[in-house]
Amino acid sequence: MTTNQDVERLIAEGAAAPVEGWAFDWLAGRATEERPPWGYARLVAARMASVETALDVDTGGGEVLAEVPHPPRLLVATEGWPPNVEVARRTLRPLGATVVAVTPDAPLPFRDARFDLVVSRHPVRTDWTETARVLRPGGTFLSQQIGPGTVRELSEAILGPLPPPVARRPDRAVAAARAAGLDVVDLREATLRTVFHDIAAVVWFLRKVVWTVPGFTVDRYRRELYALHRRIRDDGPFVAHARRFLIEARRR
C-alpha cells in the first residue's frame, strides 16, 4: 500500500525530469507505446538519400534526422520551441544540417520552390499552403501526424468526459493538402497501445506532450493525479491508445 509520501515522490520525479528535445528515453521501464507499422524514420532516410535539398519542419531535438545515414547536400530543420533549438543544433551538427529558429504559425523563412523534400514528424500544425510553396514542382511532403483523439483515455482521466474529436482528422489533412496544390499519394492510419506503469510517467508525458491536457501543471491537477495513481495501484497499468497517420503528397 502506497502512502501520500510515495505518491508525492513519484509526482516529483515526473515533474523534475527534463523534457527538452523529442526523445522519450526517460519513460524506459515506466511506459511503453507501440510503433506505427510503416517505420517513419526508415522512410525519411530512404527519401533523403535520393534528393539534393530537404527540410524538416518542427524537428524537435533533431532525433529523427540524426538517424539519416545519407543526408542531402542541403539539409535544413526548423524548430519553434527555444529549448529545443540548441538541442537540435548539437544533435544535427555532425550531419551538417542548419537549424533555423522560427516563430510558431509564421510563414516558413525560405524562398519559393526551395526544397525537393519536406518532412515533419508530429507537427504542431501543418501549414499546407507554406509547405506547397517551398516545395519545387514534383517535390514530396512526407509526414507522420497525430491522429484524432490520441491518448484520449488519459485526457479524460484528468479532464473528465470530452466531446468527440474533430481536429487532426486524416480526411481534413487530405482536403487541405489538395486545396494547397498537393496530390496525396499515400495515407495510412494506425491505433497504438500506450501503457503507463506509474504516475511519474503520466506527469512527465503530460509536461512533454502539452496538447494532451492543455495548461497542465501538477498543482492544478494534483487531485486528478492522486486519483489516477490509485487507479494504477489497484487495477494495474493505465492503458490508452495513440493514433497516428502517415501522409505523403507531391506538389503538382
What domains can you pick out in the chain, each with its CATH number? 4-251 (3.40.50.150)
Q: What is the model's pLDDT at position 124?
A: 87
CA-CA distance, 149 to 153, in Å (whole number)? 9
The grid cell for 200 is 511519474
Q: For residue range 87-123, list pLDDT tens digits in order.
A: 999 999 999 999 999 998 999 999 999 999 999 999 9
Q: Enumerate residue ranges in the chain where pLDDT < 70.
A: 1-3
Q: What is the model's pLDDT at position 233?
A: 96
How many other CB atoms are found less than 10 A from the CB of residue 52?
Answer: 11
Full-model pTM: 0.90
